[in-house]
Structure 1
């Protein structure tokens, strides 16, 4: 934990996973977000936000898996929603530029933070915020329990698990 940057950016899952573990080299943001403080360059922590809806997850998973299927490791796939860590720091990445156009398959615009050198870390529960924020470790109580739709049919609710994130492809 001592090697993690003090500034973080909260990213919804499974996009946060894709940054740290699947080579997502652009984080798309609105022009307002970039104009209101996201111009900073340098190493930041990647915070996986708490929220995750079923339709949002399925759409992102399909998009991510399509990109991964065309990549060098066509066996890598987006994890099941239940297996995605939420409500804490999952790694770090270098922000090297802000662009309005990119040939990256990950770019959707209108602005993109260009990301390099992702590194996973042991999950650290933390409360997120909009934009860059100074994060602090928190009690595991900030980690959300899985939503009912994430659980196998007939499964009982369970406590969130804290596991190490998968290694990066880069």
Structure 2
């Protein structure tokens, strides 16, 4: 199965149904189910921006799972424009049917990578 590594808290926002677009610097023709891997790095600035500007209740920073699979979603499109508040481009992977999964430690990679399930 394909997976994509995304830094926290963005991975959390995707698998919990808040974030419907993941931004990328490259387009993709991939469509289908993808595992969401939480990278080992945490974006503190993003965390505080979400709390302040979007009023989404997030867990404490120390509770975020890092370095493993945290959920899955379905990529249904890749766009260059979007009305989603999450889109900043230049490309956006449109995500649907996201859900959390039991954490599974796993080393991530850049781009899409294969994971045995």
Q: Same fold (TM over 0.5)?
A: yes
Unaligned runs of 5+ in 1: 1-5, 70-75, 138-170
Unaligned runs of 5+ in 2: none
Mapping 1:1-170, distance limit 5 Å: 6-30=1-25, 33-34=26-27, 38-52=28-42, 56-57=43-44, 59-65=45-51, 66-67=53-54, 69=55, 76-136=56-116
Structure with max Cα Rg: 1
Higher relative contact order (CA 8 A, sep 6+): 2
Matched length: 116
Mapped contact 1:93–1:115 kept (Cα < 8 A): yes
1:129-154 deviation digits (Å, cap 9, x = unpaired): 011101258xxxxxxxxxxxxxxxxx
**C-alpha separation in 1, matches of 2:2 and 2:29:** 13
Higher strand share: 2
Shift of 1:22: 4.2
Mapped contact 1:87–1:126 kept (Cα < 8 A): yes
TM-score by length of 2: 0.91
TM-score by length of 1: 0.64
